[in-house]
Each structure stands twice: as C-alpha cells, then as structure tokens.
Amino acid sequence: MSEHKGPVGLMSSAVAPAKEPNAMGPREVELVLVKEQNGVQLTNSTLINPAPGPAEAQERETWGKKIDFLLSVIGFAVDLANVWRFPYLCYKNGGGAFLVPYLLFMVIAGMPLFYMELALGQFNREGAAGVWKICPILKGVGFTVILISLYVGFFYNVIIAWALHYFFSSFAAELPWTHCNNTWNSPYCTDAPAGNASDGPGLNSTFGTTPAAEYFERGVLHLHLSRGIDDLGPPRWQLTACLVLVIVLLYFSLWKGVKTSGKVVWITATMPYVVLTALLLRGLTLPGAIDGIWAYLSVDFYRLCEASVWIDAATQVCFSLGVGFGVLIAFSSYNKFTNNCYRDAILTTSINSLTSFSSGFVVFSFLGYMAQKHSVPIGDVAKDGPGLIFIIYPEAIATLPLSSAWAVVFFIMLLTLGLDSAMGGMESVITGLIDEFQLLHRHRELFTLCIVLGTFLLSLFCVTNGGIYVFTLLDHFAAGTSILFGVLIEAIGVAWFYGVQQFSDDIKQMTGRRPSLYWRLCWKLVSPCFLLFVVVVSVVTFRPPHYGTYVFPTWANALGWVVATSSMAMVPIYAAYKFCSFPGSFREKLAQAITPEKDRELVNRGEVRQFTARAGAALFASHRRSRHSEGYRSLVLRAHAPPGTQGRRQQDAQVPILGNVLDFSVALHLTSTDGSASVSDGAFSAGARCCLCPCEQAAIHVAHSCFSFATLRVPDPEQLSCLCPADLVSLPGLPATHLGSQPNFHGCQHRALLRHVLERLCSSQA
C-alpha cells in the first residue's frame, strides 16, 4: 500500500520537491529540517538528485463516489440502538430535557472524536492498527478496537438472523405471534390484554405472557429448552439457516472492498429512512399516538439534577456514533487525500443525532397506541433493547390492518440497519489486518471469507436453545468498558503523544484549513476528560448481567471479564513488546517508541545521529515553540560525499542563530557539482508570517566532507525578498559579482537566518 509521503508540519510543505532520481554523478547536498519532539531531535529532509529508492507501493483503493463513503458512515453510525435505545433513554430521563446533556456531550466530545477518527484514517491511509505509526508504542490500541469489532460480530450477526427469521415469518397469512394456538405456546399464554401485568404487555407477568413474547422466547429462541448458560443445547436449524444467509450477504458485500460495499449501502443506508417515514405516517393515525409522542417529548428539567441522566447521555453519545470500533478510521482511509473530512464529520454526526431523535416519534406513536389499547400507562410498555423490536413492536403491528405487509416493511428496516453496522464492523477488522500484514492484502477475498466464516462458527453458540444467555453475556462485556477504554487511549495518543499541533498540521495539509482553537481544545482537554469520566462511571456503576430473572453464575461473569480484558490487554502487551524491541537505554527506548515512524525512519537511515531524550521528561518534554506552530527548530545543511569517497572523514560544525524556522516558507536547495556548492532556488516567502523570536535559540549544523564551499551563487536573488543586500555583500569570502543585479529587497528578521548560513558556508573553505 502506498503511504502518503506528505511533508511533516507547516515547515516541510514549503520545501521544494526533489528532482527525479539520478544514479550518475555525485550525490547532492540536502536540506534537512530539524525539530525536537518529546526530547528527540527529528528531521524531514529534501535530497536533491537522491539515489534511487524502492518503487512506490500500489496505489490505495478509493471510494467510487463521495456519496458511497457518506452512506457507509451514516449506515454504520445509524444502527439498531438508534431505534431501541435513544427514544427510551429520552423518555426515561425527562423527555426533552434529556436533549440538553445529550447535545452538550455531542458537541464537546462526540463530534470532536468523530472528526478525529475521520482525519486520522484519511491522512495515514491505513486501518485501525496501521494509523498508529504516529506513536508506535500505542499500536496496541489498534488491535484492541479490531478485537472488539470481531467480538461484536459474534453476536451482532445474530440480531440480523433474528430479524431475518421474523421477516420470513411475516409472509404467513396470519402472523404467528398473534394468538396462542401454536405448538410452542405454553399454558400461560393469553390473548387477553395484560392490564394488571407487573411487567407490562408483551413481557412475562404474573397473570401470563402475550403471544408476541412467547413467539420470541419459545418460537424463535426455544429458551424454554435451556436451564441456563451451562445448558445451551444444539443450534436451532432455522436460526442457523438465517445466520448462513446473513454471512453470505456480508461476504459478497465486502469481498471486493469498498467498490462493492459502497454500492450496497445505496440500499441498506437509505431504506431505513423510507421505512421510518412510512411507519411514522402510519403511527400518527393510530389512537393514542399523540399521547405517546407527548410522553416522549414532555420536559422535566428537574431530572437534570440527577447524575444518572448525565451518565446516560454520556454513554449514549459514546456508543451511538460508533467511535472506537475502528470503522470510521477504516472507511476514511479509502478517501481521497484532499477530501474535506471536517464537513463529513459535521454532516454525519448531525444526521445520526437527527435520526435518533426522529425515530422516537415512530417508536412512541406505536407505544402510545399500545398503552391505550391495553389501558396501561406508557411506562409499562416503554422498554429498550431487543424486547422492544422483537416483542412490543411486532405485537403492535399485528393489530393493524394489512399487518403482514407492515411486518415485512418493519423487518426490512431492521435487516438493513443491522447489515450496515455489521458490514462496518467486518470492514474494520479486514482493513485493519490487511493493512498491517501485506500478505493478506494480496488475498483479500480469501481472508474476508475466513473472517466471516470464523464469526459464523462462533455465532452458532448464540443460536442454540440457551443462545440468548451467550448473547447477553457478550453484549454486556465485549464492547462496554473496553471500547470506552480504547477511545480514551486513542484520544490521549493523538492529542498528547502525537500532538494536537502536528495533528492540526496534518488536517491543514489535507483540507487546506487548520482546525480552529475550539477543536484543538476539545482534542487536547475536553474529550480526554469526558472519556475518563465515562470510563470511571462505567466501572463504578457496573452491574453483573442478567436476562429477565436469570442470574448468571460466577464462572460466566469471570468469562465475560476475560473477554473484556483480552481486548484491553492489547495496549500494555504491545507497548511492552515495542519498547523492548528498540535498542539503547531506557530513555532512548522510550523516545523511539513514542516517535512517529516517518521521523524514526530518518534515524534508521543514519540521517540523524542524535537521538536522545531529556532526563525525566521523555514523555512530556516542554519545549519553547512558536505560538503559530509546533515545528522545526533548526536547519541542517548536509553535504553527501561523491561516490568513491565514503571513507573520507565527515565533520560537523555548529553555529547558533537567533530564531527558528517555523511558519515562514523556505525553499532552499544546496547542490554540489565538481567541488563547489551553490544556493539555488532560495526563497523566503515575503507574504509568510514572520515568527523569528530573539528569545529562542536554534542551530545550523553544517556537515562538510570531501569538497569545499568555494563558490556561492544566488541565480535568482529577486526571490530573496526578505533580505537586505548589505547583509549578503558584507559576508566574508562572498564575491559580490555572484549576487547579480541589485534586487528589491525588503529587510526583516528572516535575513538573520540566511546570513548565518552563508557566514558558515563561506568560512568553511578555510
């Protein structure tokens, strides 16, 4: 795969590109920009006429159309939880008042994290693991999110299989969950409204169960044949067949990459909106619908004084957008490099929130109808989770005219919602691993088949008689605290290890626009603090899972924690491995482990010999920076010896100068020909922002080997618009004739930089 070879930071974007490789003749002098990051001296160099390098890797695949990417992101983010969880949380936590903490957390944390992942994937053009070349020691975060996505695939595909089972059952002349005359019904099944039921209609109650509840638990799951998680029984052939069909759909949607999945989402991402609109129009005509919507929107601002409301809002924001699963990184890695990821982030997060809010009108119009039909409060029928979409909603649809048609439409919506999210999760795993292991990239179709078959085999545990217990256990542990932990480490890694300034430079390089102070503050402070709060709350408020009245045994909870910690453990395990793989002292190991690979490659090639960390401050070395940029601290002018002179001793010299080279444009090439050096295409942009600071010190390292700097030429002095001609003419050893005609120079602080460069070069011949 090709990696974007863009320059690092603001400074490097101004360095003129190298000429075409030429294997003949002496090697040229290069311009090296040096910066200090985490106490390590790093460089980005431009070598004129460099030696031929390895051939570029194959160009990365991109989306066929921009809309393919947008629909894929929207389809993944808008999932079943938007239908079954957000409306219930809104009703439970003060109705419209719940929107206050929800929107607040969405703006200060949800959108910034969403934007961060899109930009991270698009700039680095790799999956969840590969992007951590920005901070190799945290690459375990990538494997954490890949493993979590794999775990989620084990049980999420089962939800789609349930929906598919219901979809096929909806073609019956009479919906099978409308009466108690089926073979799976128990003596406790009752067709009468459960007005005095303790748990509300559709659920187990003191006086009996509804046909819809028994169809789900006994007709589909066959839960009555299992005593618990230690008595799973064999897989049910009906659900297994549905699961096979789901796997086939996923495989042929993913096997060719985004070229195929980008076309599938045209149906799967748009169909839910068509169905939701149809259901809303139908729901508004039902008796009691207005009461349901009023209950959904009724505002109780006193609930905002309760901590649980803010906790629910925070967790909903984290899970509803899908950050931390590696899907956004994988999808955006297939974007064009110059794609406007900022606009995409704002658009898709807004659509996600609006969809969640709008789905509440659909859900509560039907819940209001059910409450009036059974003469119970809306609170008795307002539930979240699978019980809402597989018990309450089917029961409501069964009472409508043309109930079979409406059931088909409803379960088509569930199928498309589920397939979108499942495709995203699988793509995260596939992209993350094939980018990391190039052998897999050449066999994508076969590897995709192995992934979907692996998820199918493990999903079989969830379609047994007691499969709902396995499903509940995985749902509770696989992507709870672990995904929040992964996002927290991801945010810290980008904002504090890689650096918000450098990350902002990357975004500017892609979009031409630097993120505003608001986004940088959110990435640096607000989002990490928000995530830390959510992680702590999730641990403090943890409750063991249960299904109805069934309590999981101790060994099952222990197994659940093994699943949760197995993904989180990837972070310290890989960090320890990466740390130990580097040579040197503890500080040197740490410095290399937190240094972006694009900078460390220069070290490995010997272009930077100084690679040290400041004592006691390897992680957070404070360094005086320009207020405009985190940039380069000095210029290195390195002369490469011509062929045949490799044994010549190379000497380094230092000369201090005032200021640094951070925010103004430099395109300075030094070329060596026949023992002479020339300054060509030298330019200090007149319109660039001057950032030289007399309080800061930088250094120019002049490496000279087999030739002397006998001649300095400035063929186009008009470009040196920031320099005073007197500074050049007065330099010792510089023939004035080489300055050409008198240019129209404008003095400024930039002249100090080139003056010291020329002084050193001119004196080096001595």
For 735-748, what is the mean pLDDT?
34
Burial 721-753 (b: 16+ CB within 10 A, else e): bbbebebbeebebbeeeebeeebebeebebbbb
Residue 395: how many CA atoms within 13 Å on its side-chain side? Answer: 30
Q: Are 714 and 729 in contact (CB under 8 A)?
A: no
Residue pair 99/90 in contact by the 8 Å Cβ criterion: yes
**Nearest C-alpha neighbor of 722 from the set 670, 673, 682, 680:** 682
Binned at pLDDT 50, 70 and 90, residue 739 comes out as very low
pLDDT at residue 315, rounded to an integer: 85
Q: Is 482 within the bounds of a domain?
A: yes
pLDDT of amino acid 603: 52
What's the rounded mean pLDDT across residues 21-36?
37
Q: Are 476 and 243 in contact (CB under 8 A)?
A: no
Domain that holds residue 304: 66-191+209-569
Euclidean distance between CA atoms 147 and 745, whole angstroms = 60
Q: In the structure encoding, which two tokens stand for residue 270, read together?
A: 């748009």
d(CA 630, CA 623): 10
* Torsions phi, psi for 600 (to 5 deg): -70, -25
Let me know how many helices (H) and strands (E) the chain has, helices first.
32, 9
Q: Total structural domains in the chain?
A: 1
For residue 555, being part of any structural domain is answered with yes
pLDDT in tens, 672-708: 333 333 333 232 222 222 222 222 222 222 222 222 2
d(CA 136, CA 598): 11
Distance CA 351, CA 408 (A): 25
Q: What is the chain's percent helix, strand, coil content, to nearest 5?
A: 55, 10, 35
Q: Considering the domain boundaries, does residue 510 fall inside one?
A: yes
pLDDT of amino acid 548: 85
Question: What residues form the annotated binding site?
Answer: 75, 77-78, 82, 320, 352, 417, 420-421
Asked which of 397-406, 454-463, 741-750 is least confident by mean pLDDT, the reply is 741-750
Report residue 115's pLDDT band, with 50, 70 and 90 as the boundaries: very high
Q: What is the C-alpha separation between 250 and 429, in angstroms, rounded?
A: 13
Question: How much is the pLDDT for 375?
Answer: 85
Which distant-in-sequence residues (6+ apart) come within 8 Å of 42 by Cβ?
A: 34, 35, 36, 595, 599, 600, 602, 603, 608
Q: Is residue 587 part of a domain?
A: no
Q: How confident is the model at residue 86 (pLDDT cuts 50, 70, 90)?
A: confident
Report the binding-site residues for Na(+).
Answer: 75, 77-78, 82, 320, 352, 417, 420-421
Amino acid 85: pLDDT: 84
Give CA–CA dist 755/761, Å, rounded: 10
Instruction: With both helix axes pointing from N to C terminus, report the angle between 341-374 and 500-511 in degrees, rounded to the nearest 10.
Output: 100
Is residue 721 over pLDDT 90? Answer: no
CA distance 287 to 280: 13
Average pLDDT, the chain: 73
Tell me phi and psi for residue 550, to 5 degrees: -80, 130
Q: What residues pair up with 656 in beta bridges, in sequence order?
A: 699
pLDDT of residue 377: 86
8-state DSSP, 174 = S
Q: Inform me whether the pLDDT recorded for 522 exceeds 90.
A: yes
Residue 80 lies in a domain: yes
Structure-token pair, residue 294: 């009023």
Residue type, 9: G
User: Are the C-beta atoms of 90 and 353 separated by less than 8 Å?
Assistant: no
Residue 749 in tokens: 């602080």
The identity of residue 482, as a single letter, is S
The residues with which 535 forms a beta bridge, in sequence order, are: none
Q: Which residue did the predictor score with more confidence, 657 or 131?
A: 131
The reply to whether 385 falls in a domain is yes
Alpha-carbon span 664 to 753, nearest angstrom: 12
Q: What CATH number did the domain enclosing 526 receive?
A: 1.20.1740.10
* Separation of alpha carbons 738 and 709, rounded Å: 14
711-734 mean pLDDT: 34
- Most confident region among 78-92, 429-443, 451-465 by mean pLDDT: 451-465
CA neighbours closer than 13 Å in the CB half-sphere of residue 673: 11
604 pLDDT tier (thresholds 50, 70, 90): low
Region 102-109: mean pLDDT is: 93
pLDDT band at 354 (very low <50, low <70, confident <90, very high): very high
- Give the residue, 143 or 295, on which the prediction is more confident: 143
Assign 12 a pLDDT band (cuts: 50, 70, 90): very low
Helix (H, G, I), strand (E, B) or coil at 219: helix
Amino acid code (one letter) for 59: E
Report pLDDT digits (tens) over 298-314. 888 888 888 888 988 88
Residue 537 lies in a domain: yes
Q: Please give the DSSP secondary-structure letter assigned to residue 310.
A: H
236/223 Cα distance (integer angstroms): 11
What does the pLDDT read at residue 764?
43
Residues present in the chain in total: 766
What integer pLDDT is reported at residue 192 of this predicted model?
Answer: 52
Residue 327: both structure tokens together: 């899907």
Give the pLDDT confidence score for residue 79 in this predicted structure. Answer: 86
Domain presence at residue 719: no
Task: Tell me, letter by letter, the H, E, C secondary structure of 663-697.
Answer: CCCECCEEEEECCEEEEECCCECCCCCCCCCCCCE
H/E/C letters for each residue in 597-620?
HHHHHHHHCCCCCCCCCCCCCCCC
Q: Give the number of other Cβ atoms within 10 Å of residue 258's Cβ.
A: 23
User: CA-CA distance, 60 to 81, in Å (whole number)?
Assistant: 33
Q: How far apart are CA 639 and CA 704, in angstroms?
A: 5
Count Cβ atoms within 10 A of the Cβ of residue 716 and give its class: 0-12 exposed, 13-18 middle, 19 or more buried: middle
Tell me if residue 79 falls in helix, strand or coil. coil
Q: What is the pLDDT of residue 738?
A: 34
